[in-house]
């Protein structure tokens, strides 16, 4: 069979389209990278080869942007024979159009033709419409970033207890104001049009109470970089329905996918050289408590079979000063990028900052292989669950250690891409692209197109939140080692409630 899905990189406007060859010639995965939104959109197309030699695109699925599933169904009849570029064009048209629909959504035109949108339906859209109808209307859209206890240090860091005012092209005539708030008083709650709930170990969120005090027409955005298993407060027993109108998290099915880092196309220049290696495996951790899995004990088990240097609060080599971290880690060939939770798409700075961007190969554990494949650079990591026992794993690492050429292959991605970090503070007013104005646009767009929203797909928030993580009561073995907490250490865990990093 000839290659329908040859490896190919095509540039069209601001998108980068990467067409990858998969194991079967007849399956193509097209990954769209949207550099404005910093996220990947994946389209899988399966071509059926008929006995008479014609190829038909049988199926097309999208991840990362479920909203366009519908449009893609139309593609099922497109023939793939000699038509790869046209298929790509049609797919790209749909994807481009979708984001363009959000970015270039002209709310003014639509609002003109509609009767009054009640305040109780959407304070945001109501205000924009009122401003349009009456120039004297004082339009101030208030976005409150509620971060509960954690706010204190955020507020101190950014030195801001004032409302920051700015304008957005969603409607230039309306002022937008935002501020972090740790103590959500009645006055602030009542006057907020959008409540941006910053998740991070709230400890006293009292979500049900918050729901009860929600004024009508207020839109809620959930922003989280933590794993759901650390924030069980978001899914209390009594919560029904879905109080959040928009999500921005590391989950790929969120409205705004916000990973810790992603890759960008390498525009120019040679990839950095691989740092000189003198050591084998490193691990850095500051959280020695028991997690949903016995991470620390598993590392100890590994040390019985292979050399692992452990740093940080839980390590034997001591803490690494911030300025020494990069220099120290670079000397290692591998890094144990073991997450503190086993949750879907939950990939933190561990593989990104501690390994990939240092020129170290991450050995990963946390989410499923397909999530890593989707979110990390291609062929850049070792998935510990690929090995059924310790000796298979150890033999593999030793073989790589001795075979320079094979080891170097883990760095091939660097000739095409570079690591791009999305900082949590970048979702601020001033951040150039992922910013509050985009969020507002998205909220306005969702008002008119609820069918494209995550909220619509997720009627039961609590199940979605809880469903992202593995059930710690299900037995699990890693390289033959049982990683589930035993009864005795489970009790310790409950006593040390706070789990972090």
Ligand X SMILES: *[C@@H]1O[C@H](CO)[C@@H](O)[C@H](O)[C@H]1NC(C)=O
Q: How far is the CB of 242 from ligand X (least distance, A)?
A: 5
Element (H, E) at 133: helix 123-133
CB closer to ligand X out of 310 and 453 = 453
From the CB of 441, what's the least distance to ligand X, in Å? 14
Q: Which lies closer to ligand X via its Cβ, residue 216 or residue 232?
A: 216
Q: Which is nearer to ligand X, 25 or 274 (CB)?
A: 25
- Annotated catalytic residue 416: no
Q: Report yes or no: 287 and 499 within 8 Å, Cβ to Cβ.
A: yes
Contacts with ligand X by CB under 6 A lie at 50, 52, 54, 122, 183, 185, 219, 241-243, 245, 388-389, 391-392, 447, 450
Q: In degrees rounded to 5, what are phi and psi of residue 222?
A: -100, 120
User: Between the CA atoms of 202, 206, 209 and 213, what dihedral angle is there, to the nearest 10 degrees?
Assistant: 0
Nearer to ligand X, 256 or 376 (CB): 256
Q: Which is nearer to ligand X, 92 or 242 (CB)?
A: 242
Quick check: 22 and 35 in contact, CB under 8 A?
A: no
Q: At closest approach, how far in Å is the CB of 5 from ligand X?
A: 21
- With vertex at residue 237, the alpha carbon angle to CA 236 and CA 242, rounded to the nearest 5 degrees, is 65
CB nearer ligand X, residue 52 or residue 473 = 52
- Closest to ligand X by CB, 189 vs 314, is 189
Is residue 275 classed exposed, middle or buried when 0-12, 13-18 and 19+ CB atoms within 10 A define those classes? middle
Min separation Cβ 202 and ligand X, Å = 13
CB 106 within 8 A of CB 100: no
From the list 99, 177, 226, 342, the catalytic residue is 226
Closest contact distance (angstroms) between CB of 129 and ligand X is 13
Quote the CA–CA distance of 372 and 142 in Å, as a whole number.
37
Provide the token pair at 3: 């290659």
- Helices and strands in the chain: count of H runs, count of E runs: 17, 21
- Of 111 and 376, the one with the shorter C-beta distance to ligand X is 111
Distance between CA atoms of residues 208 and 218, nearest Å: 16
Phi, psi of 280 (to 5 degrees): -95, -75
Long-range pairs, 272-277, Cβ under 8 A, ≥24: 272/359, 272/414, 274/359, 274/408, 274/411, 275/330, 275/331, 275/358, 275/359, 275/360, 276/331, 277/331, 277/332, 277/333
How many other C-beta atoms can be found within 10 angstroms of the C-beta atom of residue 301? 17
Q: State the minimum distance, in angstroms, from the CB of residue 408 to ligand X.
A: 25
Q: In whole angstroms, how close is the CB of 121 to ligand X at the nearest point?
A: 6
173 CB contacts (<8 Å, ≥6 apart)? Answer: 131, 132, 135, 139, 167
Measure the CA angle with vertex 50, ends 49 and 56; round to 5°.
55
CB of 128 to ligand X, least distance (A): 13
| Residues facing 421 on adjacent strands | 261
- Answer yes or no: are the C-beta atoms of 362 and 335 closer than 8 Å: yes
Would you please indicate which residues are annotated as catalytic (active-site) residues?
Answer: 226
């Amino acid at each position: 069979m000839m290659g329908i899905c040859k490896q190919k990189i095509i540039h069209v406007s601001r998108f980068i389209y990467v067409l990858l060859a998969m194991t079967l010639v007849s399956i193509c995965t097209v990954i769209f990278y949207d550099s404005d939104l910093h996220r990947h959109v994946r389209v899988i197309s399966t071509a059926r080869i008929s006995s008479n030699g014609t190829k038909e695109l049988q199926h097309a699925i999208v991840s990362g942007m479920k909203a366009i599933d519908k449009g893609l169904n139309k593609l099922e009849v497109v023939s793939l024979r000699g038509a790869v570029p046209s298929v790509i064009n049609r797919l790209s048209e749909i994807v481009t159009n979708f984001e363009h629909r959000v970015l270039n959504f002209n709310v003014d035109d639509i609002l003109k033709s509609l009767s009054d949108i009640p305040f109780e339906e959407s304070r945001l859209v109501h205000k924009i419409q009122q401003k349009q109808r009456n120039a004297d209307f004082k339009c101030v859209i208030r976005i409150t970033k509620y971060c509960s206890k954690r706010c204190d240090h955020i507020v101190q860091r950014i030195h801001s207890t004032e409302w920051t005012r700015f304008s957005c092209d969603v409607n230039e005539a309306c002022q937008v104001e935002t501020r972090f708030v740790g103590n959500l008083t009645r006055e602030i709650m009542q006057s907020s049009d959008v409540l941006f709930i910053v998740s991070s170990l709230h400890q006293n969120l009292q979500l049900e109470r918050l729901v009860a005090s929600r004024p009508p027409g207020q839109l809620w955005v959930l922003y989280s970089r933590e794993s759901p298993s650390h924030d069980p407060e978001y899914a209390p027993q009594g919560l029904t329905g879905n109080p959040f109108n928009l999500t921005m998290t590391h989950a790929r099915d969120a409205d705004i996918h916000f990973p810790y880092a992603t890759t960008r196309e390498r525009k120019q220049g040679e990839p950095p050289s691989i740092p000189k290696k003198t050591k084998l495996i490193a691990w850095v951790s500051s959280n020695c408590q028991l997690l949903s899995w016995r991470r620390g004990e598993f590392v100890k088990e590994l040390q019985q079979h292979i050399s692992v240097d452990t740093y940080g609060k839980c390590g034997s080599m001591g803490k690494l000063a911030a300025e020494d971290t990069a220099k120290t880690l670079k000397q290692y060939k591998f890094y144990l990028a073991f997450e503190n939770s086993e949750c879907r798409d939950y990939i933190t700075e561990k593989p990104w900052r501690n390994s990939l961007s240092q020129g170290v190969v991450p050995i990963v554990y946390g989410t499923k292989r397909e999530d890593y494949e989707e979110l990390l650079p291609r062929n850049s990591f070792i998935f510990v669950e690929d090995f059924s026992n310790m000796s298979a794993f150890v033999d593999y690492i030793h073989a790589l250690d001795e075979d320079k050429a094979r080891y170097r292959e883990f760095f091939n991605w660097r000739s095409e891409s570079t690591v791009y970090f999305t900082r949590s503070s970048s979702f601020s007013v001033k951040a150039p692209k992922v910013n509050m104005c985009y969020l507002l646009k998205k909220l306005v767009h969702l008002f008119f197109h609820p069918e494209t929203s995550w909220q619509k797909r997720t009627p039961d928030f609590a199940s979605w939140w809880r469903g992202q993580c593995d059930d710690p009561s299900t037995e699990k073995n890693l390289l033959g080692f049982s990683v589930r907490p035993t009864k005795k250490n489970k009790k310790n865990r409950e006593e040390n409630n706070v789990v972090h990093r």
